[in-house]
A and B are shown apart, each in its own frame.
Chain A
Amino acid sequence: GAVVSQHPSRVICKSGTSVKIECRSLDFQATTMFWYRQFPKQSLMLMATSNEGSKATYEQGVEKDKFLINHASLTLSTLTVTSAHPEDSSFYICAAGAGEQFFGPGTRLTVL
């Protein structure tokens, strides 16, 4: 099956700093990528849909100025958490593909 990678797998940062998470489709091109957030022992919540070459579509309640998404190429989407706060600590998972979504391994963000 298709492979999606995320980098970093784990990051710890200080409150107020910005963190960038990369999502790459390794063996296929993806015009559409998705960013999910998962709290401990909870389900995945879609944050935004990332479209190559155009603006991301954010779900209701997700601050677009806080969670910046860039999908500059057909194999890379980035999520930047700006001015991170402890409540942003979570597991962030990306997925690539439109008809069938292939999920990355996730990035655990801890904001101190």
Chain B
Amino acid sequence: GEDVEQSLFLSVREGDSSVINCTYTDSSSTYLYWYKQEPGAGLQLLTYIFSNMDMKQDQRLTVLLNKKDKHLSLRIADTQTGDSAIYFCAERMDSSYKLIFGSGTRLLVRP
């Protein structure tokens, strides 16, 4: 079945690293995505990783994928107050363009 889970809330201090975790169940996922949503706004694609990759780094963002455990994480280095938002992971099925979203993790960055 299709199920993507995330922890609901994360609070970090400004300047620290944030790690947001996601687990998924469908092993046929081809791409896994991280989106950011600020209050009252749509989704902004942050980064994505292809299922045959283990890691992808893009400036302050590092994505780790453990395909065996079906675990995806997003690490934000030097977290800033502007990073406070809801972060969604999403998986894309092999057979379609359909995205299955996790429940979202609310990141709060304290000054």
Beta-carbon contact of A104 and B42 below 8 Å:
yes
On chain A, the number of residues with a Cβ less than 8 Å from chain B's Cβ atoms is 24
* A103 lies within 8 A of B44 (CB): yes
What is the minimal beta-carbon distance from B108 to any residue of chain A, in angstroms?
Answer: 14
For B101, list chain A residues within 8 Å (CB).
43-45
Q: How far is the CA of A101 from the CA of B43 in the complex (A)?
A: 10
Say if the beta carbon of A49 comes within 8 Å of chain B.
yes
Residues of A within 8 A of B97 (CB): 32, 34, 49, 98-99, 101
Tell me whether B88 is interfacial, beta carbon within 8 Å. yes
Query: How far, in whole Å, are A44 and B98 apart by their CA atoms in the complex?
Result: 12
Question: For chain B, which range describes its interface: under 10, 10 to 19, 20 to 34, or 35 or more residues?
Answer: 10 to 19
Give A93 to B43 CA distance when docked, in angstroms.
Answer: 9
In the assembled complex, which residues on chain B have CB atoms less than 8 Å from the CB atom of A43?
88, 101-104
Which applies to chain A's interface (DSSP): helix, strand, loop or mixed? Answer: strand
A110 to chain B, nearest CB (A): 13
A100 within 8 A of B: yes
Closest to B98 in A: A46
The answer to whether B40 touches A108, judged by C-beta atoms less than 8 angstroms apart, is yes
Question: Bound complex: CA of A95 vs CA of B48, how far in Å?
Answer: 16
Per-residue B-contact encoding for A21-53, CB less than 8 Å = 1, 0 else: 000000000001010000001111110010000
| A residues lining the B interface (CB < 8 Å) | 1, 4, 6, 32, 34, 41-46, 49, 93, 95, 98-106, 108
Inter-chain pairs besides A49-B97, A102-B45, A105-B41, 9 sampled, C-beta below 8 Å? A6-B42, A42-B103, A43-B103, A44-B43, A99-B97, A101-B97, A103-B43, A104-B42, A108-B40
The 7 closest A-B pairs by CB, nearest first: A103-B43, A103-B42, A105-B42, A43-B101, A44-B101, A106-B42, A43-B103
- Give B residues with C-beta under 8 Å from A: 35, 40-45, 48, 88, 97-99, 101-104
Instruction: Name 18 interchain pairs, CB-CB below 8 A, sorted by A.
Output: A1-B45, A32-B97, A42-B103, A42-B104, A43-B88, A43-B104, A44-B88, A49-B98, A93-B43, A98-B97, A99-B97, A102-B45, A103-B35, A103-B44, A103-B45, A104-B42, A105-B41, A106-B41
